[in-house]
């Protein structure tokens, strides 16, 4: 397996890895307070995620805690945000978005306070649906291309084209056009027929490669997928230089100033929620399982898979500090590199991207508390 280990996690696995992730420095209190958000934030902070409830999105569910209410028809998980005086409603994505990208949904439904928007989608939406990221819950994208190591001898992206293997992915995923543009994948290998299931991978005996999340599919394929039940290997999209922030919690850009008093208090809570989750994931992992058992048609969820996901997220640096000792901030140079990488792709699609677009148009660290990070 091609897991990259951060310096802090290199010698740690399993429970010892989780135990190493203390929430903050001892002199930084948890950013909560009775009624602190009541007069400056919406009475219900609505968070629109991009998919079903999974451990990669758990910081949102951590805000509600393990005892939230599941709304099956709306696809939502709701409850009070501690004693802050406001409620949180976490909305599932996927089919609940009706096929729309999160930025478009945010402009159609202005009750949404924050949406999960990857950097490439923020670039693509900027002309019509501009959003500004205020918190990055994931430092490294978990997106991978996975394969059967018994079928393909692949050690790096440089080995993929020579295999000739079809790579099954979801149509519209920009990372595939990037991989082609960089010469890692031949256009003939791109197969935009992924249906979200392991069915084709299993049926073809691993002769196709497939998109996935490193913190999800490899464990499930090995432990839960009938007809497979053996290890896979993978390459991380980030290692190919596709450095998107997968979950940039974003607001409508025109409302940034209006929401600033709320975000000043709220964003440190978001940082802390991500840290609290990976430090003690079991309560919210159980809530994620309850959501999956209540709302049909989502991906298979098990407590064992959730626990493994947290370990992988930490080991791969998916949840980690930014370029300093802070969790959740944006590296603006990195955002500018993503913009430069995807601009020719979107131009090839015939899409309109504003001239001179830069990181300052897409993200801000204004509300991040630099003292909050994994230690």
Q: Are 317 and 139 in contact (CB under 8 A)?
A: yes
The pLDDT mean for the chain works out to 92
Instruction: Quote the tokens at residue 298.
Output: 């989502």
What is the pLDDT averaged over residues 2-21?
Answer: 42
What is the pLDDT averaged over residues 36-51?
Answer: 97
Query: For residue 304, which phi and psi values (nearest 5 degrees)?
Result: -65, -40
| Residue 16: pLDDT over 60 | no
| Residue 126: pLDDT over 80 | yes
Among candidates 54, 198, 189, 135, which has minimal Cα distance to 329?
A: 135
Give the model confidence (pLDDT) of 298-311 as tens digits. Answer: 889 999 999 999 99
Instruction: Quote the tokens at residue 369.
Output: 């508390």
Give the model confidence (pLDDT) of 263-296 as tens digits. Answer: 999 999 999 999 999 999 999 999 999 999 999 9
The whole-number pLDDT of residue 164 equals: 98
| Residue 358: pLDDT over 90 | yes
> Rounded CA gap, 251 and 255, in Å?
7
> Rounded CA gap, 103 and 100, in Å?
8
Going from the C-alpha of 358 to that of each of 73, 132, 285, 354, 364, the distances in angstroms are 39, 12, 37, 10, 11
Instruction: Quote the tokens at residue 186.
Output: 């031949």
% of the chain at pLDDT higher than 90: 87
Instruction: Quote the tokens at residue 208.
Output: 């196709």
The whole-number pLDDT of residue 55 equals: 98
- CA-based R_g, the chain, Å: 20
> Rounded CA gap, 148 and 198, in Å?
13
Per the DSSP assignment, residues forming a β-bridge with 136 are 248
The whole-number pLDDT of residue 25 equals: 37
Q: Given pLDDT bands bounded at 50, 70 and 90, which one contains residue 57?
A: very high
Per the DSSP assignment, residues forming a β-bridge with 132 are 251
Q: Given pLDDT bands bounded at 50, 70 and 90, which one contains residue 32?
A: low
SS3 358: coil
| Beta-sheet strands, E only, within 208-321 | 209-213, 233-236, 248-252
Longest CA span, the chain: 60
Q: Given pLDDT bands bounded at 50, 70 and 90, which one contains residue 7?
A: very low
Give the model confidence (pLDDT) of 62-115 as tens digits. Answer: 999 999 999 999 999 999 999 999 999 999 999 999 889 999 999 999 999 999
Q: Are 128 and 351 in contact (CB under 8 A)?
A: no
Helix/strand number for the chain, H first, E second: 12, 12
The whole-number pLDDT of residue 33 equals: 76
The whole-number pLDDT of residue 275 equals: 98
Q: Report the Cα 128 to chain-centroid distance in Å.
A: 23
Long-range pairs for 226-232: beta carbons < 8 A, 24 or more residues apart: 226/202, 227/202, 228/198, 228/201, 228/202, 231/1, 231/149, 232/146, 232/147, 232/148, 232/149, 232/206
The whole-number pLDDT of residue 323 equals: 82
Predicted TM-score (pTM) above 0.75: yes
The whole-number pLDDT of residue 31 equals: 44
Q: Are 117 and 133 in contact (CB under 8 A)?
A: yes
Provide the pairing of β-strand 143-147 with 167-168: unpaired
> Rounded CA gap, 53 and 156, in Å?
31
Contacts of 279 (CB under 8 A, 6+ apart): 18, 21, 22, 23
Give the model confidence (pLDDT) of 220-257 as tens digits. Answer: 999 999 999 999 999 999 999 999 999 999 999 999 99
Q: Given pLDDT bands bounded at 50, 70 and 90, which one contains residue 34?
A: confident
> Rounded CA gap, 65 and 85, in Å?
15
Give the model confidence (pLDDT) of 321-357 as tens digits. Answer: 988 999 999 999 999 999 999 999 999 999 999 999 9
């Amino acid at each position: 397996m091609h897991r990259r280990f951060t310096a802090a996690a290199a010698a740690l696995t399993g429970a010892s890895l989780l135990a190493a992730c203390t929430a903050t420095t001892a002199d930084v209190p948890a950013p909560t307070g009775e009624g602190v958000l009541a007069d400056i934030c919406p009475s219900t902070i609505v968070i629109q995620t991009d998919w079903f409830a999974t451990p990669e999105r758990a910081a949102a569910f951590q805000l509600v805690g393990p005892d939230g209410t599941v709304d099956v028809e709306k696809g939502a998980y709701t409850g009070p945000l501690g004693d802050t005086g406001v409620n949180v409603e976490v909305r599932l994505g996927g089919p609940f978005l009706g096929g729309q990208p999160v930025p478009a949904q945010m402009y159609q439904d202005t009750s949404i306070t924050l949406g999960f928007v990857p950097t490439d989608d923020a670039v693509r939406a900027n002309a019509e649906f501009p959003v500004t990221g205020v918190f990055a819950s994931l430092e490294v994208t978990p997106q991978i291309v996975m394969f059967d190591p018994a079928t393909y001898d692949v050690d790096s992206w440089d080995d993929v084209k020579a295999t000739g293997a079809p790579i099954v992915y979801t149509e519209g995923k920009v990372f595939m056009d990037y991989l082609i543009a960089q010469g890692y994948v031949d256009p003939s290998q791109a197969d935009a027929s992924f249906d979200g299931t392991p069915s084709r991978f299993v049926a073809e005996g691993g002769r196709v490669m497939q998109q996935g999340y490193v913190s999800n599919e490899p464990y499930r394929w090995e432990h839960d997928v009938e007809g497979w039940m053996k290890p896979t290997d993978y390459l991380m999209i980030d290692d190919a230089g596709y450095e998107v922030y997968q979950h940039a919690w974003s607001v409508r850009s025109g409302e940034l100033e209006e929401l600033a008093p709320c975000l000043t208090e709220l964003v440190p809570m978001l940082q802390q929620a991500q840290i609290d989750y990976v430090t003690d994931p079991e309560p919210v992992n159980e809530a994620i399982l309850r959501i999956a058992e209540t709302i049909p048609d989502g991906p298979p969820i098990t407590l064992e898979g959730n626990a493994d996901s947290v370990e992988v997220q930490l080991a791969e640096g998916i949840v980690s500090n930014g370029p300093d000792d802070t969790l959740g901030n944006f590296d603006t140079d990195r955002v500018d590199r993503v913009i430069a990488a995807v601009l020719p792709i979107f131009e090839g699609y015939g899409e309109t991207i504003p001239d001179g677009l830069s990181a300052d148009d897409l993200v801000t660290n204004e509300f991040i508390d630099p003292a909050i990070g994994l230690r």
